[in-house]
Structure 1
Amino acid sequence: MKAVVFHKPKDMRVETVDDPIIEDQRDVILKVTSTAICGSDLHIYNGYLPQAKNMIMGHEFMGIVEEVGSNVRNLVKGDRVVVPFPISCGSCHFCNMDLPTHCENSNDNYGPEGALLTGKGAALFGYTDLYGGYSGGQAEYVRVPYADYGPRKISSGLTDEQVLFLTDIFPTGWSAIDWAELKGGETVVVWGCGPVGIMAMKSAWLRGAGRVIGVDILDYRLEKARLAANVETINGKDVDAVEAIRNMTGGYGADVCVDAVGMEADHSIWTSAKNIIQGEMGTMKTLERCFDAVRRGGTVTVVGVYGTPFDNFPLHQWFDKGIKMRGGQAPVHNYIDHLIDLVQTGKVTLNDIITHNVPMADAAKMYDIFNNKEENCVKVVLKP
């Protein structure tokens, strides 16, 4: 089969690899009909997360069940499904606590530490050996473990593009807002107008926010946020975003700030030099901006990825302002059934962020375009 294979940073290739096979009787083999490039894939592409071996990429995918393990009784060949990006068993200590992203059975590198290179949580499709080393879904076929727990059937009345983002970015944006526990009427500021940020904005409206503001430094992403999520926007290169937010909120700051950027935020040469000395990757500038812009007693949620420790974490500011903070990988399994219903009933539209819908053969070029923020690229869908 053909698949998108990571070889080393900035080196993606579409090449022929072995077809997947059933390895456990809870597996299914899926014929992929649509997959996507996620901003998190760029962390591997740019070397922010280490991966020594070649690996099939992709954790946002859907398709048709081709082969079914004998212990999978809820799916049959021909079923059309979307697949949550975390790989979770559904029955371990943490899965039973509704914490599927902390599954103790799916990842051989699992452990309680959550350290830099050891003791990670649940496995993820196509997301380094640290997270299980599973082949991803940017391929013609993919093996889906624990298929009696993860995949969800999709109505034939919905296109792939309407439901593909139920795999990751919509549940991730929903998590950012769900964790903030909105009561109604809050001002929510989302830092980062990429795909996850826009999904967080859509989720904020659905959960009763009174005002939603997007912050970015790229005009085309701000325009996409305005069009797709009907939000106010701030260009952080043109104005001091924190001061602008305070001016828009009577001097107090936002009730909720969402960090949908993470460690790959734009940063200076000085920061890069400091990273070498301190063993860090990227920057926590966006998180610092969130701490500045949130009101006292407000909430900061983090769905942008941070892969290393950071010195000078603003612990004093968190303590003085009494900020509530929550973050992590999205527990997709907990939300996906409700989110499917929101799509089916027309309460939310997901496919309006797609800017590039191309054959998988173009994947290497599209990684480069997406990474370099060319062609006003917001979201790429690949067709195997």
Structure 2
Amino acid sequence: MKALCWHGKKDIRFDTVPDPTIEHPRDAIIKVSSCAICGSDLHLYDGFMPGMERGDIMGHEFMGEVVEVGAENKRLKVGDRVVVPFTIICGECDQCRRGNFSVCERSNRKKDLADKAFGHSTAGLFGYTHLTGGYAGGQAEYVRVPFADVAPVKVPSTLSDEQVLFLGDIFPTGWQAAAQCEIEPTDTVAIWGAGPVGQFAIRSAILMGARQVIAIDRLPERLSMAAAAGAITINFEEESVVERLNELTAGKGPEKCIDAVGLESHATRSLDAIYDRAKQATMMETDRPHVLREMMYVCRPAGILSIPGVYGGLLDKIPFGAAMNKGLTIRMGQTHVNRWTDDLLQRIEEGQIDPSFVVTHTAPLSSGPEMYKTFRDKHDGCVKVVLKPGHA
């Protein structure tokens, strides 16, 4: 089969690789109908996440048709149309029973490696580093899904791929980011990053009843998409984020702040940018935490910081004293996808939201290497890329 494979920094190739096979009786094989490039994939593309090996198959946002099931998989049958969450879950461990699916205790098959890096292992993830299990990803024609009798979400034929594909990651991620904020009707919610996750966090915060939602970014197409949803926008290259937030909140600061950017954040001041890039270059920090610094500074005392943006390693110059003395609550983590999918699928079916709004580019899987560059550099107004295996 064909797949997009990692061969090093900024080197994604459309390779021929072996077809996946059933390895465990609970497995299923999925023929991929649509997959997507995620902002988290760019951390691998840009070389910021450790644990990648040449030839690893990329991608963790995918869906398709079940073409084979293991003997113990009684939930799925051949022909089922499913979206596959990016978190691999067993459904049986203590964390899964609590709904903490992104920290499943059994699905990371590289547990010893992850324990050394993180102290305790997280769940296995599709198409990510060997710290999260080294599983083959979904930017491919076929995928083996472990524990496939638990996580895959069956979706109706009445909805398009583009309407349901993002149930596997960015829609639940944006929703969880907002849910972690415990939004009240009087709240201002400020969201750094109006990329795909930020767009879903914006719409989730609005659906949850926030008084005002503010989107912070620098790209006109992203800011326009946020404004279309009803958000107030701030272009951080044209005005001071701190001053504008103070204007919009009568000097009190937003009650809730969401970091939908993660480890590759851009600084609004050149000295911050120079500092973080220099520290990265000398391996004195791995991640650029400018957004975290700014959120800790501007958030209203007793507020909440929600962090869906991915961080991979070590941060520097974090104003933790400010966060502590202001009594801020910090919530973060990979998404517990299956905690939210039933509710979100129902919202799609009822027409509360059509997730396809975020798609700006559709291309065949063979164009994946070029589309990684387009997505990474935000060329041609690119916000979200959907790839179609089998299309010319």
* Structure-1-length-normalised TM-score: 0.97
Of the candidates 322, 329, 341, which is equivalent to residue 334 of structure 2?
329
* CA displacement at 1:118 relative to structure 2: 6.5
* CA displacement at 1:312 relative to structure 2: 2.2
User: 2:14 maps to which residue?
Assistant: 14
Of the candidates 282, 289, 292, which is equivalent to residue 294 of structure 2?
289
Q: Percent identity?
A: 46
Of the candidates 318, 331, 343, which is equivalent to residue 323 of structure 2?
318
Rounded Cα–Cα distance in structure 2 between residues aligned with 1:278 and 1:48: 11
User: 2:307 maps to which residue?
Assistant: 302
User: 1:139 maps to which residue?
Assistant: 140
CA contact (8 A) 2:306 2:331 kept: yes
What secondary structure sits across from 1:135 in the alignment? coil
**Cα displacement string for residues 35-67 of structure 1 (whole angstroms, at most 9, x for unaligned residues):** 000000000000000213321101000000000
Specify whether residues 186 and 314 from structure 1 end up closer, same or farther in structure 2 by C-alpha distance, changes over 3 A only.
same
Structure 1: gaps of 5 or more residues: none
Specify whether residues 370 and 254 from structure 1 end up closer, same or farther in structure 2 by C-alpha distance, changes over 3 A only.
same
Specify whether residues 296 and 356 from structure 1 end up closer, same or farther in structure 2 by C-alpha distance, changes over 3 A only.
same
CA contact (8 A) 2:108 2:133 kept: yes
User: 2:270 maps to which residue?
Assistant: none
Rounded Cα–Cα distance in structure 1 between residues aligned with 2:139 and 2:227: 30
What secondary structure sits across from 1:243 in the alignment? helix
Specify whether residues 195 and 301 from structure 1 end up closer, same or farther in structure 2 by C-alpha distance, changes over 3 A only.
same
Rounded Cα–Cα distance in structure 2 between residues aligned with 1:376 and 1:282: 26
CA contact (8 A) 1:111 1:121 kept: no
What secondary structure sits across from 2:263 in the alignment? helix
**Cα displacement string for residues 273-307 of structure 1 (whole angstroms, at most 9, x for unaligned residues):** 22344531231001111112211111110011111
User: 1:338 maps to which residue?
Assistant: 343
- Confirm whether residue 166 of structure 1 aligns to residue 200 of structure 2: no
CA contact (8 A) 2:108 2:132 kept: yes
* CA displacement at 1:26 relative to structure 2: 0.5
Specify whether residues 118 and 14 from structure 1 end up closer, same or farther in structure 2 by C-alpha distance, changes over 3 A only.
farther
CA contact (8 A) 1:11 1:45 kept: yes
Rounded Cα–Cα distance in structure 2 between residues aligned with 1:16 and 1:276: 34
1:6-85 aligned within 5 A:
6-50=6-50, 51-85=52-86
User: 2:356 maps to which residue?
Assistant: 351
Rounded Cα–Cα distance in structure 2 between residues aligned with 1:235 and 1:191: 10
CA contact (8 A) 2:6 2:53 kept: no
CA contact (8 A) 1:111 1:118 kept: no
User: 2:388 maps to which residue?
Assistant: 383
Rounded Cα–Cα distance in structure 2 between residues aligned with 1:253 and 1:190: 13
* CA displacement at 1:126 relative to structure 2: 0.1
CA contact (8 A) 2:292 2:318 kept: no
Partner letter of residue 279 of structure 2? K
CA contact (8 A) 1:109 1:119 kept: no
* CA displacement at 1:14 relative to structure 2: 0.8
* CA displacement at 1:113 relative to structure 2: 7.9
User: 1:252 maps to which residue?
Assistant: 252
- Confirm whether residue 269 of structure 1 aligns to residue 270 of structure 2: no
Rounded Cα–Cα distance in structure 1 between residues aligned with 2:115 and 2:221: 36
User: 1:122 maps to which residue?
Assistant: 123
Rounded Cα–Cα distance in structure 2 between residues aligned with 1:53 and 1:277: 24
CA contact (8 A) 1:118 1:130 kept: no
What secondary structure sits across from 2:387 in the alignment? strand
Rounded Cα–Cα distance in structure 1 between residues aligned with 2:58 and 2:305: 30
Root-mean-square deviation (CA, aligned residues, Å) is: 1.5
Specify whether residues 24 and 163 from structure 1 end up closer, same or farther in structure 2 by C-alpha distance, changes over 3 A only.
same
CA contact (8 A) 1:4 1:57 kept: yes
Rounded Cα–Cα distance in structure 2 between residues aligned with 1:147 and 1:290: 39
CA contact (8 A) 2:113 2:131 kept: no
Rounded Cα–Cα distance in structure 1 between residues aligned with 2:22 and 2:114: 31
CA contact (8 A) 1:65 1:81 kept: yes
User: 2:111 maps to which residue?
Assistant: 110
**Cα displacement string for residues 194-243 of structure 1 (whole angstroms, at most 9, x for unaligned residues):** 0000000010011111111100022221112222x221100011111111
* Structure-2-length-normalised TM-score: 0.95
What secondary structure sits across from 1:234 in the alignment? strand
Partner letter of residue 365 of structure 2? M
Rounded Cα–Cα distance in structure 1 between residues aligned with 2:145 and 2:114: 27
- Confirm whether residue 179 of structure 1 aligns to residue 184 of structure 2: no
What secondary structure sits across from 2:304 in the alignment? strand
Partner letter of residue 372 of structure 1? D
CA contact (8 A) 2:58 2:137 kept: yes
Higher mean alpha-carbon deviation, 332-341 vs 218-227, is at: 218-227
Partner letter of residue 291 of structure 2? T
